[in-house]
Amino acid sequence: MLNKEEVFKAFQDEIDVLHTKFDELKVQASLGKSELTQAIQPEIHKIESRLSDAKKQYDQLSHASEDALGEIKEGLTMALDSITTSVKSAAGRFKDL
């Protein structure tokens, strides 16, 4: 059985790491070439929206029953994996600068 507090803490840690990486991406975008910065802005907005959605799912954990915990955990895991991939992809565009 899942321990609600452990799941809650693990997701909070993961969200914190993603926010840090995303903040670094936004700094890179602000310092990058204007063409690339403009090209990546739509991705940045999508990632911001997805992070907001993930935060909402995370907030649901505190109110989730033990039965619903597994389902919310699965959905949040998929969302965070997708966001991580998007952040890495967007950051990869700056490696050649």
For residue 4, the model assigns a pLDDT of 76
Count of alpha carbons within 13 angstroms of residue 77, beta-carbon side: 8
Strand, helix or coil at 95? coil
Phi then psi for residue 96, to 5 deg, are: -90, 0
Q: What is the pLDDT of residue 91?
A: 82
- Report which DSSP code applies to 32: S
The structure's pTM equals: 0.74
Element counts in the chain: helices (H) and strands (E) = 3, 0
Digit-by-digit pLDDT tens for the chain (97 residues) are 567 788 888 888 999 999 899 888 888 888 777 777 787 888 888 999 999 988 888 888 778 787 788 888 888 899 999 999 998 888 887 765 5
